[in-house]
Structure formats: structure tokens, C-alpha cells
Amino acid sequence: MAIANYGVLTGTPVAARIIGGKGPHDQNHYHVRVHGTDGDYDIAINIESTSSVDGSPTGFEVLYLVNNDFTPPNAAGLKALTASVTPLSADSGLALDYVRVPGLVTREQMILLPISETSATSALHSLIDTLIQKAITQKATIYAFGQSFGNGSGANPFFGFRPDQGIHDIHMNQGNPEGPHGNDNGTFTDGGLFVQFPDGTWSAAFIAFQSQSFNTDDNGNPA
């Protein structure tokens, strides 16, 4: 079925911090405030492993890779984007697919984030925070891939800007087993985070879950 409103948010990060989850199965996220040409946006990045809702002790453990020597598959296409949310289709040349786009990430490259590591002390939080704080200081350009959202004219609950808009699901969105996230499966709708620094270098962060398969069919379901 795939996630709705898939796209990439392009802009300049200006603030970031951990903010707590709001539900019994909603863990803390690392939120980034981003300036775009048409307003501010909120990026929500998963930085903490939790047990799955079905009681499996490993079902939702996070896998991650932060690559500080990254080369985007289509840097020219990214640089041409407006600082806003751009919807992406499978044939856009920019959509991410961990399984089908060469040079992004492999399962073997990714590191397991234990449930015992809380968001404030996890290795993933440390790597993401270091990356984003550097991006803020250097006024880098951020590209966040995932599901865009807008909540009307109300204020963003974390940073206070209006309207409340942003992007989440900044992680792999295919290979989920049958269950609460099975309907998210799709091809060329994976999330991720790229940062382009003023000196021309790039970094990237990729996140997946231990329960997800990197062997998927044409609908993004486990093959």
C-alpha cells in the first residue's frame, strides 16, 4: 500500500532537540526545525529502540548507519530543489529505496541499537545530534525523505511555529511483516536524511528496524 504523501523536505536546519513520545508505544524522537522558502518545518527522527506492540523483544529494535563520507546518487537533482517539500514518485530520480537504489545502504552496513540504550544516551542520538548541530552551525542544507504532514493553521507543538507542518517516517518503509506496519510497505518510499555542507561534502543517515526484510517484492512486501 505504501505511505502517503512521500517526498523530500529541503531547507536549512536552525534548531534541534529530543522530544518525548506521546503514546504508550511512541518513543522519543529527535526533532529538527528547518527553514524553507514557504515557512518552517519539523523533522521527526526515530532515535530509540523499543519492543514491538505484539510483545516481541526485538521486533522494533532500530538499525542505523550514519555515513559522513557519502555521495548522493543524484546530487544535481537535489541541489535543484526548492527549499520546501517536494513530492516524489518512483520515476523522479530522487526517491529512496534501500533495496533498489545502488550506493545508499546495505543491511550489513547497519548497526543494531539495543533497547537498553535510551534516546538521550544512545549512540544513534549522539551521531544524529553531532551531525545536525554541525549542520546548524555551518548553515548546511538538509534533505529529509519520508511522509510529509500538515496539521492546519495550528502551532507546531514542539517549536511553536505556524502552520504545523513537517516530515516523519525518516526510515525504511518496506519489508515490514504482516501487522501494524504492513500497510506502510512500498517501493521507492524509503526515508532518510542527507546533509550537504558548504564545503561540498555530504553526510547521510539511514534507519531501519530489525523486523524489516531487505528482500522485498515489487510491492515492498517481504519476498
**CA atoms 24, 110, 170, 210: torsion sign:** negative
> pLDDT per residue over 172-191, tens digit each?
999 999 888 888 999 999 99
What was the pLDDT predicted at 53?
A: 43
Cell numbers for 25, please give them: 508505544
> pLDDT per residue over 53-71, tens digit each?
444 444 568 899 999 999 9
**Contact yes or no for 88/78 (Cβ under 8 A):** no
What was the pLDDT predicted at 117?
A: 56
Q: Is the pLDDT of residue 167 over 90?
A: yes
Cell numbers for 138, please give them: 555551518
Predicted confidence band at 21 (pLDDT cuts at 50, 70, 90)? low
Q: How far, in Å, CA of 47 to CA of 146, rounded?
A: 15
Q: How far, in Å, CA of 223 to CA of 204, rounded?
A: 27
111: which strand partners? 64
